[in-house]
Chain A
């Protein structure tokens, strides 16, 4: 069984934000909600590095651990999804998440949070695969169509890899061998632990 993971190769990312745009367009994400973002460290300084980050679909997901209504679940592919019909918009998953993945559309005054929205690894939600309701609530379900996440598919420099953890690790290992130096599997330790 595949264990889906994201991997962003910081040596390749050029901060073009195509992944962000592709994600917003594919899922019709509302304004102010970013399922994926690109963060640049030492911006403007020689040697700056950019990383595209979204929900990392953690093995022991902190969001799921603190959710008061237990609305998260992990698919057989290791993708962490949530049920918007249970979500109460308390914001706890945002407090707990190391990667700042959970987002909330603001629906009322005083910063009242709507139902949480986050990267689904293009795998929709608990509703009927590829149905209209699923699309409206969670966006496109590309995994059910046999496709990989659009952000990685669109990446012009192939910096962002998405897919089975073993396969993308192999691709990355080959790159590192060619380049020399050591691997920089960004965020893997935080997301998947040191063993898995």
Chain B
């Protein structure tokens, strides 16, 4: 009996402990995975701490400078510069894809305007009398700058869009030769153009200061669409806008161009990338606006080109387009052929 009681007691103890183990096991064994993940992640964190090298590669990706014993104008102590990829995507993206549309839209608008409006003729009979409009110095300055502008525009656009447009036409070798010639012309003529633009700004700034008459001119959009003749001085509102465009774009394009043209002042790559983007965008917009100026000065209006070539314009043209200015210079009107007429006098030098 005693032994039976003993075994019963032992049985109960085993049952009790088993129950305790099962209960505690059920509660705590599922938590064991936390212990496991904690130790593993602790080890991973330790590996992270023990990897100071990561800082070097971070520094490299941030474009930090190191030391190099190599020297040369294009040898840098930076392992990876990041600006290049940004520049590439800007230049090959928006600059290459969007800017041509500005030119195309401008050409289209001018063509449409010309189809609808046609050339604006001088009204009434032409007496043959002329008044001086541009001095010889002004004309030389204009055509000096204008011809350089055209050469720079053609060569610059060739370099920007030639790969897409001209290589299929000229082939890689033909375009290679043209591009080589273009970059040489562009780089060597650029500084001469800067001189022309700066002189133009100096010479024509005074006559292009906005006046009260210009407010009226802009209210009527210069008669562009109504066809009426809005009173204007020597320079009308549209011409003044063009002048200030020349001043702003001229300075921006000149400054960026000179920085790009003379890489021997140790400009950083980041500077060159930025200047290149500004130069491309501003000069293409400038070319687009210049197309409007070229149209207005030739096909758009009869009798205006004569002023910039021969220096004198017909009296009828002056009355029609620049009546306020005509009042100032009408005493200088002379008949006969323009070549032998007197050189434009003091009135032209003291504009309205």
Residue numbers of A with Cβ under 8 A of B are: 10, 17, 20, 31-34, 37-43, 47, 49, 51, 53, 62, 65-71, 85-86, 88-92, 94-100, 102-104, 106, 110-113, 181-182, 184, 186-187, 190
Contacts and interface: CB of A to CB of B under 8 A. Distances in A.
Contacts of B91: 66
A6 B301 CA distance: 65
B8 interface: no
A38 B273 contact: no
Given A43-B67, A92-B276, A100-B74, 4 more contacts: A42-B56, A99-B79, A110-B262, A111-B265
Contacts of A38: 68-70
Contacts of A34: 70-72, 75
Closest CB pairs A-B (n = 10): A111-B264, A32-B72, A43-B67, A37-B70, A86-B176, A39-B66, A100-B76, A96-B84, A111-B263, A41-B66
24 contacts: A17-B70, A32-B72, A34-B70, A37-B70, A40-B67, A41-B59, A41-B60, A42-B56, A49-B53, A85-B176, A86-B172, A86-B173, A86-B176, A88-B183, A89-B183, A95-B84, A95-B87, A95-B276, A97-B84, A100-B81, A100-B269, A184-B53, A186-B57, A187-B60
B324 interface: no
B229 to A, nearest CB: 47
- For chain B, the bracket of interface size reads 35 or more
Contacts of B56: 10, 41-42, 49
B3 interface: no
B309 interface: no
B204 to A, nearest CB: 30
A68 B175 CA distance: 10
Contacts of B47: 181-182
Interface in B48-107: 51-53, 56-57, 59-61, 64, 66-82, 84-85, 87-88, 91-92
Nearest to B263: A111
Contacts of A104: 73-74
Most chain B beta-carbon contacts within 10 A, residue among A37, A62, A71: A37
B272 interface: yes
Interface in B133-161: 159-160
A53 to B, nearest CB: 6
Task: Classify the secondary structure of A's interface with B.
Answer: loop
B349 interface: no
A106 to B, nearest CB: 6
A89 B160 CA distance: 14
Q: Which of B71, B84, B273 has the most CB of A within 10 A?
A: B84
B187 interface: yes
B165 to A, nearest CB: 11
B163 interface: yes
Interface string B245-267: 00000000000000001111100
A67 B70 contact: no
A53 B79 CA distance: 7
B110 interface: no
B262 A111 contact: yes
Contacts of B333: none
Contacts of B74: 32-33, 94, 100, 102-104
Nearest to A30: B72
Contact of B272 (A66, A89, A95): A95
A68 B51 CA distance: 43
Nearest to A115: B180
B201 interface: no
B176 A88 contact: yes
Contact of A181 (B51, B263, B265): B51
B180 A68 contact: no
A94 B160 CA distance: 17
